[in-house]
Amino acid sequence: MKISEIKPGKVEFQGWIENLRDKKNMQFVVIRDLSGKIQVTVVKAEHPEIAEIFSGATLESTVKIVGEAVANEFVKLGGIEIIPESVELTSHAEALPIADDSSIDQRLDYRWIDLRNPARTLIFQVETTLNQAMRQWCIDHDFIEVHTPTLIGASSEGGSDVFEVKYFETKAYLIQSPQFYKQMAMAAGFERVFINTPVFRAEKSHTKKHATEFSGFDVEMSYVESQEDVMKVEEQILTYAISKVAEKHGAKVKELLGVDIVVPKLPFPRISMKEAYKVLRDELHMNIKDGDDFNTEQEVALCDYMEKKNGHQFFFVTEYPSDKRAFYTMAKPDDPAYSKSYDLYFKDVEITSGAQREHRPDVLRNQIVSRGIDPAPMNDYINFFKNGCPPHGGFGLGLDRLIMLLLDLPSIKEAMYLFRGPDRLTP
Ligand code: AMO
């Protein structure tokens, strides 16, 4: 049984030795499982064989215990103690190489020990609920889930941040996003799809928000008129999923991580790039020209401005300059220097890129060529759009970034079960 289910009477349970006080005549042992902790009390004279097992046991060893749970008002842990009849040591723990206050990199070396801390386990309980709710929203709204390969013959985002792998006598790449596959689903008539997949970026960035492998949550939908249709779906998915997290884990997150889960209000605030340039220049007195990318300082200033102005932790930036976006993005027909694209910011970090896509194969090919990308390896992708394909759009969200921000974690390393970065391929 789980420790949290223990009531007075006969019990059998397993767990970790969290604490052990070995007195002259008595032993007080705290056993922990995922659900809670309980005290085991041993009277040495009555059970010398059990006392001997505990005397030789180390902290964090695991045990199986059969005994009687009895109420005892002096026991701090729930007013119940276990009088054991038999104890079996199921594993022996060597001295722990890390403590709670070890550096993050030391802790990652021994992640299996690090994650035993209930505050860290909670991160993954939250992620389970969040991801499940995002999927549920999609399923409830007629999305089809597709499982896509992580090996690909051509770079899906352009650029150099792609891992190359030896593939028999030829080369393959690890996907930077399932972009091509989700767009193919639109050509296949699936109308609405979502994909949960690992994605890879060969970026040597050592920041709190970069990993070389992370979990993507991707959505693509047909018959969109602009990025606005995609943004409406994304804000609903997030509001629903965060409300589920607040409902299920809000109190525990506050207790163990000291963080309030704020369920965002709909709609999320929006600002176009053209408006953002004006705000940065006229109100925040920063030096930026129309068509530029934000530098980090400008990005932080804009996030700060939007949060203060709207009292909202999320906001969309829309209609980026076309030449700053990936080749598959549709340009605005009335103003082709700008595109039908968006990013979503949460607190001060970008968590999503999205857009309406260019679904006309001839225009798409031109966009590829005009970015200096060799169109030959893209032929399979361009072919998707040659046999009829509705206008479509979608977004890609970084799940690990979302968790990091939702729980105010200092780095994406804490948000990922196993972090992968430029200097880390283990454990
Ligand atoms: P983009 O390249 O913006 O867009 O990636 C989408 C989201 O993925 C997350 N992300 C990362 N997370 C951790 N470490 C990284 N190195 C990293 N890089 C990106 C971010 C980001 O917003 N195909 C498009 C999406 C689309 O248009 O549908 C794409 O991949 O949260």
Give the three-state DSSP class for 60: coil
Q: Are 42 and 27 in contact (CB under 8 A)?
A: yes
Q: How confident is the model at residue 164 (pLDDT cuts 50, 70, 90)?
A: very high
- Closest by CA to 186, choosing from 328, 329, 357, is 357
**What kind and span of H or E run contains 254?**
helix 227-257
What pLDDT score was predicted for residue 100? 87
Give dist(CA 32, CA 65) in Å, integer.
12
Q: Tell me: pLDDT of 156 over 90.
A: no
Q: Tell me: pLDDT of 385 over 80.
A: yes
Ligand 1 pocket: which of 322, 325, 344, 352 to mutate (most atoms <8 Å of CB)? 352
**What kind and span of H or E run contains 179?**
helix 179-187
Q: How confident is the model at residue 183 (pLDDT cuts 50, 70, 90)?
A: very high
> Which residues, in sequence order, are bridge partners of residue 173?
152, 164
Which ligand 1 atom is the nearest neighbour of the CA of 412?
A: 13
Q: How confident is the model at residue 61 (pLDDT cuts 50, 70, 90)?
A: very high
Ligand 1 center to residue 300 CA distance, Å?
Answer: 18
Measured from CB, residues less than 6 Å from any atom of ligand 1 are 157, 177, 179, 201, 203, 210-211, 214, 218, 350-355, 394-398, 400-401, 412
- Closest by CA to 89, choosing from 56, 43, 48, is 56
And the tokens for 34? 């995922």
The CB-based long-range contact list for 198-203 (8 Å cut-off, 24+ gap) reads 198/150, 199/150, 199/175, 199/396, 200/150, 200/162, 200/163, 200/174, 200/175, 200/176, 201/161, 201/162, 201/176, 202/160, 202/161, 202/162, 202/163, 203/161, 203/422
Which ligand 1 atom is the nearest neighbour of the CA of 398?
A: 31
Ligand 1 center to residue 180 CA distance, Å?
Answer: 14
Which ligand 1 atom is the nearest neighbour of the CA of 201?
A: 16
Ligand 1 center to residue 352 CA distance, Å?
Answer: 6
For the stretch 244-273, pLDDT in tens is 999 999 999 999 999 999 999 999 999 999
Q: Tell me: pLDDT of 158 over 90.
A: no
Ligand 1 center to residue 198 CA distance, Å?
Answer: 11
Q: Among 132-141, 158-167, 323-332, name the one with the lowest average pLDDT.
A: 158-167
Burial class (CB in 10 A: 0-12, 13-18, 19+), 74: exposed
Indicate which residue's Cα is closest to atom 22 of ligand 1. Answer: 352
Ligand 1 center to residue 398 CA distance, Å?
Answer: 6
Show Cβ contacts of residue 329 under 8 Å, excluding neighbours closer than 6 positions. Answer: 322, 339, 340, 341, 355, 356, 357, 358, 367
Ligand 1 pocket: which of 162, 175, 177, 197 to mutate (most atoms <8 Å of CB)? 177
CATH code matching the domain that covers 3-91, chosen among 2.40.50.140, 3.40.50.300, 3.40.50.720, 2.30.30.90: 2.40.50.140
Give dist(CA 370, CA 374) in Å, integer.
10
> Which residues, in sequence order, are bridge partners of residue 135?
none
Q: Tell me: pLDDT of 373 over 80.
A: yes
What pLDDT score was predicted for residue 155? 76
CATH number of 108-269+312-415: 3.30.930.10
Give dist(CA 29, CA 41) in Å, integer.
6
Ligand 1 center to residue 65 CA distance, Å?
Answer: 48
**What are the DSSP E strand ranges found in 9-59?**
9-22, 26-33, 36-43
Residue spans in the chain of domains classed CATH 2.40.50.140: 3-91
Residue spans in the chain of domains classed CATH 3.30.930.10: 108-269+312-415
Indicate which residue's Cα is closest to atom 10 of ligand 1. Answer: 398
- Percent of the chain whose pLDDT exceeds 90: 98
Q: Tell me: pLDDT of 28 over 90.
A: yes
Give the three-state DSSP class for 376: helix
Q: For the chain, what is the mean pLDDT? A: 97
- Count of other CB atoms within 10 angstroms of residue 376: 8
What pLDDT score was predicted for residue 154? 80
- Percent of the chain whose pLDDT exceeds 70: 100
Give dist(CA 370, CA 384) in Å, integer.
20
Q: Tell me: pLDDT of 187 over 70.
A: yes
Indicate which residue's Cα is closest to atom 17 of ligand 1. Answer: 210
What pLDDT score was predicted for residue 160? 77
Indicate which residue's Cα is closest to atom 3 of ligand 1. Answer: 353
The reported pTM is 0.96
Which ligand 1 atom is the nearest neighbour of the CA of 351?
A: 31
- Closest by CA to 69, choosing from 87, 81, 60, is 81
What average pLDDT does range 48-56 have in this prediction? 97
Ligand 1 center to residue 314 CA distance, Å?
Answer: 17
